[in-house]
Amino acid sequence: MPQHLGAVTYLVKGYDEAIAFFVGKMGFDLVEDTDLGEGKRWVLVSPPGANELRLLLAKAAKPEQRASVGLQAGGRVFLFLYTDDFQRDYERMRENGIQFLEVPRDEPYGTVAVFEDLYGQKWDLIEPKAALI
């Protein structure tokens, strides 16, 4: 049986603010939002058209988890959002208030720009030159 990653845990301060950002500003789909009781929820979001990997928005509950919100990659780019139309998504994200840390640049692998999410976590928006998406 083939394998694939189904979800990546993404620490958040609060479920609703994270959903508002990922769904409202980034245009992700809310795949699931299930109440697990005692303040816990199973919240999955994914980019539109994505069928495999999703983000599991997990509310940081312990001090060490809260300290890691926005620092899951130690200050490096953590996630790489591939697109088939860089300019479309770049403009839409900017219009929705997402802050890019640089102007778009062409690299051997494609067009890319680094942006920050609501917690300051860095992402790459990439339109690859090869058919990787």
Q: pLDDT tens digits for 82-121?
A: 999 999 999 999 999 999 999 999 999 999 999 999 999 9
Q: Say if residue 25 is in the same domain as residue 14.
A: yes
Q: Say if residue 64 is in the same domain as residue 5.
A: yes
What's the structural domain count of the chain? 2
Lowest mean pLDDT among 1-5, 30-34, 79-83: 1-5
Lowest mean pLDDT among 7-16, 47-56, 89-98, 115-124: 47-56
pLDDT number for residue 98: 97
Domain end position, chosen among 18, 34, 69:
69
pLDDT digits (tens, 9 = 90+) for 70-80: 999 999 999 99
Domain end position, chosen among 54, 69, 84:
69
What's the rounded Cα separation, in Å, for the pair 96 and 76? Answer: 23
Residue 67 has pLDDT above 90, yes or no: yes
Domain end position, chosen among 21, 54, 69:
69
The predicted model gives 30-46 an average pLDDT of: 96
Q: Say if residue 7 is in the same domain as residue 62.
A: yes
pLDDT number for residue 131: 62
Give Cα separations from 84 to 44, 52, 55 (angstroms). 22, 17, 20
Q: Say if residue 50 is in the same domain as residue 76.
A: no
Domain assignment of residue 114, given as a range: 72-133
Q: Give me 20's structure tokens.
A: 């508002």
pTM of the model: 0.91
Instruction: Yes or no: say if 115 and 101 are a contact pair by the CB < 8 Å rule.
Output: yes
Q: Say if residue 63 is in the same domain as residue 78.
A: no
Q: Give me 83's structure tokens.
A: 């697109």
